[in-house]
Copies of this chain bind each other. A is one copy, B any other.
Amino acid sequence: MNISERLGIKFYKEQVEQFLIDKGKQTEEALHQYLGQLQCPGPGLIEAMEYSLFAGGKRLRPALVLGSAEIFEGDIPKVMPSACAIEMIHTYSLIHDDLPALDNDDFRRGKPTLHKVYGEAVALLAGDGLLTLAFELLASTGNADVVAEVARSAGVNGMVGGQYLDIRAEGQKITIETLQEIHRKKTGALICASLRCGALLSNASSEGLYAITEYGKHLGLAFQIVDDILNVTGDEKTLGKPVGSDKEHNKSTYPAILGLAQAQELALEQTHKAIRALDCLGEKAEIFRQLAIYMLSRNR
C-alpha cells in the first residue's frame, strides 16, 4: 500500500525524522537538567528514574507538545517543563505496566525492564517519583489549567482507567467499541493532552484548540492500531520487544478483532481524519500532517 498516494499528500520522511531528532534532543537536554537539579535521596533512585527515562523512547509526546507550541507561535522554554512532564508520565506508566503485578515484561526497547535491574521496590518508587515530579514541573508553568488537563488525561478517566480496562479485558471477547474506549483512555488521552498543553500554553484560539484536539484523537487511535499491527507483523529486533506478546497475553487487539487488512484500513482512515482536522491551521501545521503519515508507516 502506498500510503502517501492513498492520502493524496507527498511524504517527506526525512523532514519528520529531523523534527523528531531535534525535539528529542531538546527534550533530553531539559530532562537531564531537571533530573540533575534533584537532591538525591541516596544513590539508586534517581539512577533508576534515569534508566527508564533514557532508554531510547521515541519522544513522541514531547514532540507533540513542542510542535503544537510552534504551530501556535508559543515560547519553547515556556512549554518545555510540560513536554518533559508528559514524557515522565509516559515513562512511569511503562515502568508500572512492566511490573509482575501487571504485564510482567522482562524487556522494553531491547533493554531489561527496570524491575529486572533495580528490583520491584525501586521500580515501584521510581514510577511514583516520576509521576509526582511531573506534576511539580507542570506546576512550574504557573498554569493550573495545564496541570488539570494532564491530570485528567493520566488519571482514572484517562490512562490509569484505560490500563484498568485493559487488564479486565484480558482473555475476554470484547467489541471494537470497547477496544477503542480502552485505547482512547490508555494512550489517546495523553497524546491529546500533549497537543493541548502546547496549545494552551501558547494561547491558542478555541478554534485552534479544537482542531489540535481532533488531530490528537485520530492520531492516538491510528498510533495504537499500528502498535497492535506491529505486535503481529513487526521485527523483534527493530521493535525491541517480543513480537506476538499480545496474543500470548490473550489481549484483544485490532488485528485480532478486525483481521490484519481491515485493521490497516482503519489505521489509514484515522490518519486521514487526523490530517483533515488540521485543515483550518494551514501551512504551519504541515509537520503534523507529515508526522501522521510517518506514524502510520513506522516499523517500531
What is A's interface to B at a CB cutoff of 8 Å?
38-39, 41-42, 44-46, 49, 96, 99, 101-102, 119-125, 127-129, 131-133, 135-136, 138-145, 147-148, 151-152, 154-157, 160-165, 167-168, 185
Which residues of B are found within 8 Å of A147, using beta-carbon distances?
135-136, 138-139, 144, 147
The 4 A-B pairs of least Cβ separation, nearest first, read A41-B161, A136-B151, A101-B120, A139-B148
Which residues of B are found within 8 Å of A167, using beta-carbon distances?
121, 125
Shortest Cβ gap from A136 to chain B (Å): 4
Which residues of B are found within 8 Å of A163, using beta-carbon distances?
125
Q: Smallest CB-CB separation from A161: which chain B residue?
A: B41
A-B residue pairs in contact (CB < 8 Å), sample of 5: A39-B157, A41-B156, A41-B162, A101-B119, A125-B164
Q: Given A124-B101, A160-B125, is A139 in contact with B151 using a C-beta cutoff of 8 Å?
A: yes
Instruction: Classify the interface of chain A: helix, strand, loop or mixed.
Output: helix
Which residues of B are found within 8 Å of A38, using beta-carbon distances?
156-157
Q: Given A121-B102, A131-B128, A151-B133, is A41 in contact with B164 using a C-beta cutoff of 8 Å?
A: yes
Are A135 and B151 closer than 8 Å at their CB atoms?
yes
Are A156 and B120 closer than 8 Å at their CB atoms?
no
Which residues of B are found within 8 Å of A160, using beta-carbon distances?
45, 125, 128-129, 132
Are A155 and B136 closer than 8 Å at their CB atoms?
yes
Are A132 and B151 closer than 8 Å at their CB atoms?
yes
Which residues of B are found within 8 Å of A143, using beta-carbon distances?
144
Are B156 and A129 closer than 8 Å at their CB atoms?
yes
Which residues of B are found within 8 Å of A138, using beta-carbon distances?
135, 147
Q: A138 vs B151: C-alpha distance in the bound complex, in angstroms?
A: 10
Q: A67 vs B155: C-alpha distance in the bound complex, in angstroms?
A: 29
Which residues of B are found within 8 Å of A133, using beta-carbon distances?
151, 155-156
Are B41 and A165 closer than 8 Å at their CB atoms?
yes
Q: Given A44-B168, A162-B41, is A155 in contact with B129 using a C-beta cutoff of 8 Å?
A: yes
Which residues of B are found within 8 Å of A155, using beta-carbon distances?
129, 132-133, 136
Are B45 and A161 closer than 8 Å at their CB atoms?
yes
Are A42 and B168 closer than 8 Å at their CB atoms?
yes
Cβ-defined partner of A164 (8 Å) among B122, B145, B148, B165: B122
Q: A165 vs B39: C-alpha distance in the bound complex, in angstroms?
A: 13
Q: A135 vs B41: C-alpha distance in the bound complex, in angstroms?
A: 23
